[in-house]
Structures are given as structure tokens and as C-alpha cells.
Structure 1
Amino acid sequence: MDQLTHFNDEKRAQMVDVTEKKETKRIAVAESVLKMEPETLSRIKEGKIKKGDVLAVAQVAGIMAAKKTSDFIPMCHPLMTTKADLSFHDDGVNTLTIQATVVTVGKTGVEMEALSAASIAALTIYDMCKAMDRGMEITRTRLLEKSGGKSGEFSSK
């Protein structure tokens, strides 16, 4: 395994130097999964949550999170995001899965942006639905796949 590069010679945190890295197209896909009461999922799908269209708001929140990731993760490089998209899939009972895809052409990957997008979308759904279902659970957030860069391809599938 490579030596950790987030520490300087004085053993203090630093932002990794990507100056000499080659620009490549980089794609990352992440997901967050929410468990909720069946009634909550039903009302989300029917657009009957008092605060508004839950999935539309979560979509925008996720895109905003992808664009602003470096503002709240200290060692994350600011990136020019060229695409951010989210999709929502449910099991018809009590589980909603958010999938976030983020793309850039740059010197470092967009894994953190995809993970942030999925996470913030999940938190937005919780926020909009907590009045009717405080027991909602964000059960899994993970990187599904990434491509581009020196480390190549990754897939959790």
C-alpha cells in the first residue's frame, strides 16, 4: 500500500499535491439507502409530504453538495464538476435508494463528491419527512464505482 500523502514532513495534515498528475475524465457513482415506514415511502412517491416535492428538493440538494464538497471536507480539492445527477429507486415497501453520479475532467477523483451528493440527498429526505417518521434510518452510504486516474477502475459489484 502506498504511503499516506495527507501528512507533511512535520506529521501535520496537508492537502495532497496533485500538480503533476495528468488530467483525465473521472466518474464516481455512490449510493445512500434509507429505510422508512411504508406510509412515508408511499407519501413521498405520491407527492403528499407537506414540505413539498421531496425527491425534487433532494435532487437539488445532492447536486449542490457535489459542487460544494471541498467546502466541508477539509482536504478535498475544489473541482470543476462537469456533471452531477441523482436517481431514486424504491423497493415498493420501505426502502429508498439514492444513486449519485458525478463527473469531472481533472487531476483528482470525484468519489467524495458522489458520496456527499448521495449523503446530503438522504439527509434532505430525512429533514423533509421527519415530522411523520422520525425513525427513518440512513442505513448505507458507499462508493459503487469509480473510473479514471492512475488507480483505474473500482467496482463494488
Structure 2
Amino acid sequence: LWSIDRRKLILEITETELLDHHPTAMDTLARLGMKRFSLAVDDFGTGFSSLMQLKRLPCVELKIDRSFVADMHRDRHSEVIVRKSIEIGHDLGLIVTAEGIESQEDVDMLREMNCDQGQGFFISRPESRQQVNLSYIEGFAA
């Protein structure tokens, strides 16, 4: 495997996984944080985690679940959840990523909300492991 700076590799744990395995997960995540791994909470808003747990995690990124992004144009509650999740993430010093971006309208609305990053079919389709490996090698050689 390549020699990759741990701080550039972001390990994701879903909010639901964190809740299902709370004591073990918190201990493991704390140890990974001490070893300088970067962590992200994925699918934020789909579980019932306390904000205290989010505060305690050694994470650098908060990823808003695609279900809220998909509904934010037609459902006021989803729009408020996305907007407030971005604010909470920023207030905690986290990078905020919106998942499930499927249109320019999504991009425009998330930019207006000051979302840091996005992912979804509108930006790029998922790539095979071979394509990711090739992209990494080409980027490394450049």
C-alpha cells in the first residue's frame, strides 16, 4: 500500500454505527485521533446522537445525509436541518460536506448556505477501484 499521510486520509463512521457501538466506537475513535487519523461523521442527522458525542469525537468533517439534501427544495424542515447542520459543523470547526447533490439547484442552494464541499452524481459518478488507483498514481506522478 502507498505511504499516505494519515491526516490526508479521512475515515468515515456513520452516525448510526456510532450509536449502535457507542462505548467501543468512542474508544476506538479516540485512539485513532491520537494516532493523527482524520475522522468524519457520515450520514449526519439520520440517527439520534447527542451533540455532546459530536463534540467529543476527534473528527474534522461532518457529512450531511443525502435524504435531507434531496428534500431541502420542497420541505422546509429538511432545508432548516441542512442549514443548521452546516452552522453547527462550522461552529465546531468542522468541514461540512453535503451528500447526494444531483442538480445545479442543489449546488446553488448549498453555496448560499456556505456548505464547504459536496458529493453526488451531479459532481461525479462513483469510480471503480482501478480508476481511483490510476487517478492517484497519475496525480502522484504529476
Per the shorter chain, which TM-score range? under 0.3
State TM-score, norm by structure 1: 0.22
The one of the two structures with greater contact order (alpha-carbon pairs below 8 A, sep at least 6) is 1
Larger radius of gyration: 1
So what's the TM-score if we normalise by structure 2?
Answer: 0.23
Give 1 or 2: higher helix fraction. 2
